[in-house]
Structure 1
Amino acid sequence: MYYTIKTLLSQGKSLRQISRELGVCRKTVYRIKTALDNGQEGPVLQVRTKVLDDHQQQIAEYYEDGLTAHLIHRRLTQEKGVIISYPSVARCVERLKKQEVYVPLQSAPGEEAQVDFGYMGTFQNHGKPVKVWVFSMILSHSRYAYYRLVTTQKISAFIECHYKAFEYFGGVPKTVKLDNLKSGVITPDFYEPVLQEQYAAFLAYYNCAPIACRVRRPQDKGKIESSIKYVKNNFLKNFRGSDYQKLIYELKAWNEQICNKRVHGTTRKVPQEVFNSTEKQSLGVLPAVRYQITDISSRKVSRLAHISYRYNYYSVPAQYAGMYVRIESNGTLLKIFYNRTRIALHSISQDLGAYISLEEHKPEYKKSVSREEYHQRMAAIGPYASQMFLLLEKNVPTHWHAMTRGILHLKKSFDDDIINRACKRAIRFNALSYQHIKRICQSGLYRQDESLEAQVTYTEGYGHDLWVYDNLAHN
């Protein structure tokens, strides 16, 4: 329009004629003529500011974190105070999606396998309804696939599906790419995933490495995503009935006769043929013995410093009472861990309701002490303490353990010499108990024996009471 008006003005036409000929307002023609007269040879680009211009970087960061347009709109309005409609935010997010370009991922033979679960629905297993999932592992190079039905997604079932798949392939791929399943990944992180310890140990046993996909990035595992869709659309929709055992049988037949023998939609090759010709020999060697699956769970240690497992109670060190521990069992041994440190090891008991307690797990003051050890501890205090031990053992055979522990406990408040002298006075007056010795120590009566001995003087005649000689005789 700008250059057309410029051309018509150069031909000598008036503003009215140009307005009528072009069908535009005469003011528009006048504005452009004024700009031309001022030396402006072309139109100036009109830039409209948008509300989200100042928040583009923040929106891009939210999108990279995996937030949806709804969540981004909520954060902008509630946390940033931006007044903007949801459709505007949605259009901005859509432009960010179009900017991302996906590159097809190619894998060398034997390099990678991808795994995932897919929900199949509810079926009848011996008259009881069960929820059923299908486990799938697909070799990324040949698209050779293995399917297995499960009724749980526990780590034990997850690992069993893995080694069954490895045995089906006759070898082990170098890496396994998995979705952020709770069975395999605790904290989803593309660069440093915290894998379940047993799953990591299992893969290490098979000389295989795990790779966790990024959160909300299905393109990272596109092959297994397509594999799950394929089994649902090609097998499940064609299945008749609700019997779980029949489902297992027909899935196995479909896996071998149809899935791995059809022409793959992407590679345009038959997966079984590619697998047999190029990939099978590239897989790692299976170990001679299967990986032993252990039962892993967590428990809270009771106030009695025991954990419950299969209707029995097993001890842990007393300082862990009230804490959460992890247990591992292979059916014969029970291992108990706090963080990554093993704190207890038990043999599995076949009893019911039994307490299996180890002596070393008890607090120091409750550990069993032998008679010889008690005697050694008392003898270390002094000769009268050793004599007191023998007298207690002889005169109070049912309570000498507790009394001896009480006397030894006095070491926290009194030194050995005081306790030994208190035992001496208690023996003199036949006061054979912990309480008497304690009172002698607290009251200082052990000093009277010294003053008593100092009172004995030898003079002519019989000027002394007879009890003094009795005390001397005892000494």
Structure 2
Amino acid sequence: MPAKRKLTMRHIRQMLRLAGSGTSSREIAVMLGIARSTVQDNLKRAAMAGLSWPLASDLTDDVLEAKLFVHPGVKQGQRLRQEPDWGPLSIELKKPGVTLLILWEEYRSAHPDGYGYSRFCELFRGFEKRLSPTMRQEHVAGDKVFVDYSGRRVPIVDRKTGEIREAELFLGVLGASSYTYAEATWTQTLPDWIGSHVRMFTFFDGVPRLIVPDNLKSGVNRASFYDPEINRSYGVMAAHYGVGVLPARPRRPKDKAKVENGVKFAQSCILGRLRKQTFFSLTEANAAIAQVLERINNHVMRRLGVSRRNLFETVEQAALASLPTEHYEFAEWRLARVSTDYHVEFQNFFYSVPHGLIRSQVDVRATARMIEIFHRGKRVAVHQRRYGGPRYGTDPAHMPSSHRRYAEWTPERFRRWGASIGPQTEGLIIATLASRPHPEQGFRTCLGILRLYRDIGHDRAEAVSARAVEIGGLNSKTIASLIATYKGKKPSTEPAAVMEHANLRGPGYFH
């Protein structure tokens, strides 16, 4: 770095005033506390510039300094040595492994009398300060993509009702090239948030090392500088693509200045240019956004002299990791606790797990087609996802044996059990089921009757059944009494008619 001049313009004015009054150089040096050679050098500069005391009243310090210290034949602000083109150098610096030292060595090999390393760095930092805030950050190619939603939305009109619904504008900006992706989605919820990332990676045809999101709830459960808690579904998506997630610090907009600047640029270029267009669907809006996005990426940036697309294709694209061979399928993860009926709830539908997991905490993975349930990392249940129909999806293998037997009970099955004994017993079963408001309410009664018949022969059971239907004794207590009464008696050879009454539905009811 060149040495800084110690004399101020006030010292120079005093020096000229003393010299004009006839004071010698030695005396001036003593009076101002500087070297005699310095006095002589500055007086010589003043004589060459045609300056003498008294100075003109309108001669400012800036003009005086320019007259004394700017080299002859050199315009003010012009460098004395060959200066590199800083724009291409700033682009080269984004490439992996490139440092300022390497760039300086290449510069000196081309210009041996050029600037030293310290002055080279100083001039480069000065060039960086003249760039936009996003370009002042040093972003290595393929390192980061900054993602966020625009605060302004895209209005979309329903053709039938005329109702206006506003869609969100998602933006992703690569750090090194500022190559931009944008699309409209209906919401900022997790499916739309992750879906936008998947489509963004497809647009880039590659994956950077890190994603830098804002602390949106869809992506970050708990914001923290030291230990941010990433949403599990978002983390699974990132793991599928092999990319890390590094949320911006809360209330630190400079952490994502790249996308912040991209958001402002998109608002003016995308929303500003599309403000007079009317969209009737999300597809129409995204088609228009894609056209404006093409214009943004092909626009030549003034200070760098190249477009975002050119930077992306020449610097960043090769540094991106390849897309995975398998297509990503969105899956939402949730924690759930198994209820006492051994089912877990997901969006108002219920799915069974093995009954031994009652009260346990499980992980639910939901895709568009399947519901998978995991306990301690092991999948314990899988169901087809339900969107309508019965709210409960129950796998019989998950039920306790007693529940499983009850689930297998049907009116037809009880009729077959009764018919296996005889027609009178079948008639008794039909009458018992018909006597209840709902057949299921008679299941336990029928089961009790059939259990009582285990200890007697079929002939006696048929006689008891016929008598029970005749007197309307359609319960286990009456059957037990009739079994005791008919002990030792022979059954009638003529089958008793099934009793008819208002509650009797008949066999057609169960078909």
TM-score, length-scaled by structure 2: 0.48
Alignment pair present for 1:329 and 2:361:
no
Change over 3 Å in CA distance of 1:312–1:177 after alignment to 2: closer
Give the structure 2 partner of residue 218 of structure 1.
253
| CA deviation map 1:104-139 (0-9, x unaligned) | 431111111111111333432444422211111111
Q: Secondary structure of the residue that 1:344 maps to in structure 2?
A: strand
Unaligned 5+ segments in structure 1 are 1-101, 370-394, 401-431, 433-475
What displacement does 1:349 show? Answer: 5.8
Q: Secondary structure of the residue that 1:224 maps to in structure 2?
A: helix
Q: Secondary structure of the residue that 1:273 maps to in structure 2?
A: helix
Instruction: Name the CA distance, whole Å, in 1 between partners of 2:135 and 2:166.
Output: 36
Change over 3 Å in CA distance of 1:348–1:286 after alignment to 2: same
CA contact (8 A) 1:313 1:353 kept: no
Instruction: Name the CA distance, whole Å, in 2 between partners of 1:351 and 1:202.
Output: 28
CA contact (8 A) 2:146 2:172 kept: yes
Give the structure 1 partner of residue 165 of structure 2.
130
Task: State the one-letter code of the partner of 1:228.
Answer: V
Give the structure 1 partner of residue 236 of structure 2.
201
Give the structure 1 partner of residue 139 of structure 2.
107
Instruction: Name the CA distance, whole Å, in 2 between partners of 1:399 and 1:249.
Output: 72
Instruction: Name the CA distance, whole Å, in 2 between partners of 1:355 and 1:221.
Output: 46
What displacement does 1:346 show? Answer: 2.1
Give the structure 2 partner of residue 35 of structure 1.
none
Alignment pair present for 1:235 and 2:273:
no
Q: Secondary structure of the residue that 1:120 maps to in structure 2?
A: coil
Instruction: Name the CA distance, whole Å, in 1 between partners of 2:187 and 2:387.
Output: 27
Q: Secondary structure of the residue that 2:191 maps to in structure 1?
A: helix
Task: State the one-letter code of the partner of 2:144.
Answer: E
Change over 3 Å in CA distance of 1:140–1:349 after alignment to 2: closer
What displacement does 1:210 show? Answer: 1.0
Instruction: Name the CA distance, whole Å, in 2 between partners of 1:259 and 1:149.
Output: 16
Task: State the one-letter code of the partner of 1:346.
Answer: H
| CA deviation map 1:277-305 (0-9, x unaligned) | 11111111112222111244566755533
Give the structure 1 partner of residue 429 of structure 2.
none
Give the structure 1 partner of residue 394 of structure 2.
357
Task: State the one-letter code of the partner of 2:195.
Answer: E
CA contact (8 A) 2:269 2:292 kept: no
Change over 3 Å in CA distance of 1:212–1:310 after alignment to 2: closer
Alignment pair present for 1:251 and 2:289:
yes
Residue of structure 1 aligned with 2:331, choices 294, 311, 329: 294
CA contact (8 A) 1:295 1:328 kept: yes
CA contact (8 A) 1:123 1:132 kept: yes
Instruction: Name the CA distance, whole Å, in 1 between partners of 2:374 and 2:346.
Output: 14
Task: State the one-letter code of the partner of 2:381.
Answer: A
What displacement does 1:368 show? Answer: 4.9
The size of the alignment, in residue pairs, is 277
Q: Secondary structure of the residue that 1:292 maps to in structure 2?
A: coil
Change over 3 Å in CA distance of 1:261–1:292 after alignment to 2: same
CA contact (8 A) 2:338 2:357 kept: yes
| CA deviation map 1:225-268 (0-9, x unaligned) | 11111111222123204425443222110100x21122336755
Instruction: Name the CA distance, whole Å, in 2 between partners of 1:268 and 1:125.
Output: 43
CA contact (8 A) 2:141 2:176 kept: yes
| CA deviation map 1:61-92 (0-9, x unaligned) | xxxxxxxxxxxxxxxxxxxxxxxxxxxxxxxx
Instruction: Name the CA distance, whole Å, in 2 between partners of 1:265 and 1:219.
Output: 22
Give the structure 2 partner of residue 119 of structure 1.
151
Q: Within 5 A, what are the aligned runs for 1:69-218?
A: 104-121=136-153, 122-126=155-159, 127-218=162-253
CA contact (8 A) 1:332 1:348 kept: yes
Give the structure 1 partner of residue 459 of structure 2.
none
Q: Secondary structure of the residue that 2:150 maps to in structure 1?
A: strand
Residue of structure 2 aligned with 1:278, choices 293, 315, 318: 315
Unaligned 5+ segments in structure 2 are 1-133, 407-446, 453-479, 481-511
CA contact (8 A) 2:337 2:361 kept: yes
Q: Within 5 A, what are the aligned runs for 1:417-432?
A: none
Give the structure 1 partner of residue 341 of structure 2.
304
CA contact (8 A) 1:311 1:352 kept: no
Instruction: Name the CA distance, whole Å, in 1 between partners of 2:387 and 2:299.
Output: 52
| CA deviation map 1:370-407 (0-9, x unaligned) | xxxxxxxxxxxxxxxxxxxxxxxxx977348xxxxxxx
CA contact (8 A) 2:270 2:293 kept: no
| CA deviation map 1:3-51 (0-9, x unaligned) | xxxxxxxxxxxxxxxxxxxxxxxxxxxxxxxxxxxxxxxxxxxxxxxxx
Instruction: Name the CA distance, whole Å, in 1 between partners of 2:363 and 2:302.
Output: 46
Instruction: Report % sequence identity.
Output: 24
Task: State the one-letter code of the partner of 2:208.
Answer: P
| CA deviation map 1:149-184 (0-9, x unaligned) | 111112221122112111111211111111111111
CA contact (8 A) 1:136 1:228 kept: yes
Say what the alpha-carbon RMSD is for the aligned residues.
3.7
Change over 3 Å in CA distance of 1:248–1:367 after alignment to 2: closer
Change over 3 Å in CA distance of 1:310–1:214 after alignment to 2: closer
Change over 3 Å in CA distance of 1:396–1:144 after alignment to 2: closer
Instruction: Name the CA distance, whole Å, in 2 between partners of 1:149 and 1:339.
Output: 38
What displacement does 1:209 show? Answer: 1.0
Give the structure 1 partner of residue 298 of structure 2.
261
What displacement does 1:326 show? Answer: 5.0
CA contact (8 A) 1:119 1:132 kept: no
TM-score, length-scaled by structure 1: 0.51
CA contact (8 A) 1:359 1:368 kept: no
